Each structure stands twice: as C-alpha cells, then as structure tokens.
Amino acid sequence: MRKANIFINSKLAGSLEETVSGYIFRYDPAYAGSYNSLPVSLTMPLTQLEHTSKSLHHVFNGLIPEGLLLDIAQTKLNLETKDRMGLLLALCRDNIGAIEVHHEETNDKISVTGQLHSIPPEDINRDNIPKHGFCLCCLKPLNAIGENFNYHPECSLQLFGSKTPPVLDLSETTFESIVGEQLGMKMSLTGVQIKFSGNIVSLAKRQTHIFPNQYIIKPDPINENYKQLAIFEQLCMHLSRSLRLRTAESGLLYLPNGYPVFITKRFDRAKSGKISVEDFTQIFFKTEGHDKYMGSIEQIVQGIRKYCGRFALPNIQELYKVTVLNYLIGNADNHFRNFSLVYQKPGDELLVSLAPFYDLVPSKFYVARDKEETALSISGKKKTIGRAGFVQLAEYCRLPVKELDETLGRFDTLLAKIPIWLDDLGIRQKDDFSHLINERLKLLRRE
C-alpha cells in the first residue's frame, strides 16, 4: 500500500495512506496542535486527527489535472488514469493552493518552480506583434498605437513588476512539451485546457531579470473552433473588474510571432508563501467526471454561509454580481471548479473568503451544442432564467432586488465601450457578442 506525506506551505501536515478498504489521512499531532495551522481541507477539520474515505479524499482527488492536461500526462509519463493515488503521487507535488504531496519513499521536499523566458525587447521583431490602441491590461487608450508592446508602463509595472511587459520565448509547437515537462516536475494545474505556470526570466543586456510574481499562462487554443478564446477571456476579466468585482489580475500577451496568450497572476502565491485554495468540487465532493456541472448557484451560497462566517454577506454579494455577469456575457461554463474559497489564519481566527474570480469566458460562442444559459442552475433553471430567476436568486441570497438593478446600471456604463474594445481587439464575433449582451440586458431589466 502506498503512502504520501502531505505538506501545507512546506510544513508537514500529515500523511495519506492507501489501505485495502480505502484511504486514511492522519494529521500530524504537532501540526494539528499549532495555533496557526491550516486544515488540509475546510471539510477535514484539525480537531479530528483521522479522516477515512472509501475513495481518494476529494481535496486530493481535485488536485489531479483533467481533460487535455491529463491526456498529456498519461502519454508523456505512461500513467494509468484510473489509478488516482498513482496520479496524485506522480503529478501533484506543487499545486494550486498550499498543499504539497510527497511520496513517502522519496520524501522529496525540493521546491519546484517553472521558468518561462522572456526575449529582450531589442531582439524582438516588433512588426510581428499586433498593435492596439488600448492597453491590454486596463483597456484604456494608449498614447500611441502599439506603444510599449500594447501596455501602459504603469499597468505593466503592476502586473509584471517591470515597465515593459515580457515577450515570452514560446511558440505553438512548444506548448504541449512545456506542459509535459511541468507535469514531469510534479507541477499540477487543474482544468481541461492547455496551461502552464512559472516565473518569467529575462536575459536582457547580459543581466538576468526575474519578474517578481508567478503566473499561469493559457495560450490561445490551436484548434480553429476555439480561436480568440485568450483574447475574449481578457476582455471578460476586464468587464468583471469594471464591475468592481475581485478578479484575478490578468493581461494579454503576444508571442514573438504574434500568437496571443492569456496570462494571469497567481492569487495563491504571495511573498509570505502559498495561500490555501479549495474549489467547490473539492468542498462539495464533486471531483468525479461531470459532477462539477451537477448543482446550483444556491449551493455555493450555502457553502459561503457555512465557511465564511461573519464575512458571508459581502462574499454572497460578489457571487451574485458575477453570476449576473456570466449570464450577460454568455458564460455557461461557470461550474463548481470555477469558484473557489481562499483561507488564511493570521491570528486565532480562520479567515475564509471567495477567491478572486477567474475563467470568465463567453462559452456560448465555443460550445455550439450547449443551449443552456448557465452550468449551475439558478432558481431551479438552466434555461430561460430571465429577470424572475435573478430576483428569486437575490431573495435566496437575502439581498435586495436593487442589487440586480445596480449591477445592470454599472454594466450600462460599459455598453458604449464594449464595441470599441471588440473592434480594437479584432474579435471576429464582435457583432454576435454585442447582440447577446443587449438581448440579455433587456431580459433582466424591469418591464
């Protein structure tokens, strides 16, 4: 039977053991007794030293990649996808959040961080980089078309720690090999599409410059049916920020050949160390197959009330507003994995809140067979939700109906800008996207 040591932010938290009848996780008594220790999962309190399960505990099962990422791992590393413990040991040393998984036999506690290289600005053929009139971070006008690789210096400084944004030394032919290399280093990211993580290093003027943050990079899909997804995602993330929602910091970059990639700063990494993150598939025990689509927004409200305590109300308000946004932009992929809780313990109290929002995309334009308006039901419905459904959701959230109208009012201030941004970004479905937003706004407004 196999066994793993589980670390939280490089501290030994306990052990996970495979048994004849299932799995046992045991907290290390010294760790559990420390006043500032964090639980492995919000569903596995420190007050109970031993947690048994017939299948792999969902907090651990949820660390394992899925979809295309899992396919790459299976091919590159010759892994058996049904052997969940084997996948956990082979792939999940460094993960989203603070959990680290180490095989007991090797107990390799070496910290791993991927490195992505940026080409020095003087070595780039700028004619290959598309030029925009708006900053690819804040979407406000630039002083000159395409200046500073389409970034305001202050925006680049905020996102990248440098007044000039990086130009990553990557191409479409290297994406899968980088994913395979990082999986081989046991660096695991959840989700189904191609993505990789790391620090960015620039060798400019014979000096090594390390950008200060860790990032997740999602290249635009090579499949023609999913083109411009990276560009659309940055636009939708900006719309979220424009509604004053806590949203992961992000931007759009171009590779040396002009290929677009979406880049986001990791909110689970800080100077103080790793931050605990748990998505709602892990919290609600829905890490198998399509379970992440089986549920409702109201269940997330219940989860927030249970775990966020006295801070529940502002988090429920944020969830409500982003649910309105997802409806307006045609994001019907808002499943349980795309909502997470982050938690820290700066003192005696465990502070839990919604993670900054991420994975905001207009899936309606990429999954033609999907006729639903939402992945998780709203007021018992996934279609024809309309104003009545969102009014009922507001009531369930114990929010006044004006929460809906105020969100729509703030979105109205963006309506004149959206077609301009779509045009500047060169999005092919710009007319369809604008039409969708206007039609759904009509459905949500007072008659």
Q: Tell me the pLDDT tens digit for each residue of 107-139.
A: 555 445 567 888 888 889 999 999 999 999 999
pLDDT at 273: 87
> Where do the CATH 1.10.1070.20 domains begin and end in the chain?
276-444
Q: How far apart are CA 261 and CA 410, in angstroms?
A: 29
Taking every pair of Cα atoms in the chain, the longest distance, rounded to a whole number of angstroms, is 66
| Per-residue b or e along 417-430, where b marks 16 or more CB atoms closer than 10 Å to that residue's CB | ebeebbebbebebb
The C-alpha atoms of residue 376 and residue 295 are separated, in whole angstroms, by 5
Q: What is the DSSP string of 20-71?
A: SSSEEEEE-HHHHHSTT---SBTTB-TTSSEEEESS--HHHHTTS--HHHHH
Whole-model pTM above 0.85? Answer: yes
Give the model's pLDDT for residue 359. Answer: 95
Q: Please list the ranges in the chain whose pLDDT falls under 70.
A: 105-114, 183-192, 203-212, 368-370, 447
The CATH number for 115-265, chosen from 3.40.190.80, 3.30.200.120, 3.10.20.90, 3.90.245.10, is: 3.30.200.120
pLDDT digits (tens, 9 = 90+) for 290-299: 899 999 999 9
Tens digits of per-residue pLDDT, 327-338? 999 999 999 999
Domain with CATH 3.30.200.120 in the chain: 115-265
Q: Which residues pair with 247 in a beta bridge?
A: 357
- pLDDT of 228: 93
User: What sign results for the dihedral spanned by CA atoms 304, 305, 309, 312?
Assistant: positive
Among residues 329, 161, 337, which one has the least CA distance to residue 245? Answer: 329
CATH placement of domain 276-444: 1.10.1070.20
Q: What integer pLDDT is reported at residue 173 of this predicted model?
A: 78
